[in-house]
């Protein structure tokens, strides 16, 4: 397979950053799509959502690889979503405060009618931090477009994360090393 730009079907600035970091040529194309209620186990939901998003790019997948992804945060077997506002962001971070949660990103590489779907899971352990740290973070870093209401690469990650087990970049929204391995498996000429 020749080295054509990949289509990143995501508006995430973190996914853009990670593809650039890996030196993968891409173009970003974002199309509106619905997010259905899927009857799958919570741990499989990111893969199912990533595969679902791919259908909106079928015309592009004939000529190039389309990359779709979905990241969720799970605390005590419940999905923690993106906060709608400041109050909800503070509430979500209070729920995660001092606890371990899981971050799962599902990825779909769609090319010539074939979907290659995989996921990565990372465990994230938070220190117990004072309430005013949470308020400071939410007011100064606006984490409203992030599952779990935080970015590991921001101030919060530096001061509140005790440790992680797994892929750091997965918590940012894309397990980039695994993506590169899968691209290699399907014949993408990299680097």
Query: Which residues are annotated as catalytic?
Result: 70
Measured CA to CA, the distance from residue 6 to residue 18 in angstroms comes to 13
Q: What is the DSSP string of 5-62?
A: PEEE----HHHHHHHHHHT--EEE-----------S-GGGHHHHHHHHHHGGGTTGGG
Tokens of 183: 């691209």
Measured CA to CA, the distance from residue 8 to residue 68 in angstroms comes to 7
List CB contacts of 24: < 8 A, sequence separation 6 or more. Answer: 6, 180, 183, 190
List CB contacts of 100: < 8 A, sequence separation 6 or more. Answer: 123, 124, 125, 126
């Amino acid at each position: 397979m020749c080295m054509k730009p990949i289509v990143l079907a995501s508006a995430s600035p973190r996914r853009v950053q990670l593809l650039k970091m890996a030196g993968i040529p891409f173009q970003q194309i974002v199309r509106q799509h619905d997010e259905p209620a899927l009857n799958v186990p919570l741990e499989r939901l990111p893969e199912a959502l990533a595969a679902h998003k791919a259908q909106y790019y079928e015309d592009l997948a004939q000529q190039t690889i389309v990359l779709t992804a979905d990241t969720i945060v799970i605390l005590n077997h419940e999905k923690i979503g993106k906060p709608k506002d400041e109050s909800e962001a503070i509430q979500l971070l209070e729920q995660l405060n001092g606890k371990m949660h899981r971050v799962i990103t599902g990825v779909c590489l769609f090319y010539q009618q074939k979907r290659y779907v995989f996921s990565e899971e990372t465990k994230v352990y938070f220190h117990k931090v004072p309430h005013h740290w949470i308020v400071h973070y939410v007011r100064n870093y606006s984490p409203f477009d992030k599952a779990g209401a935080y970015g590991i690469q921001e101030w919060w990650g530096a001061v509140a994360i005790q440790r992680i087990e797994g892929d750091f970049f997965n918590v940012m929204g894309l397990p980039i090393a695994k993506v590169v391995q899968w691209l290699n498996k399907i014949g993408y000429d990299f680097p």
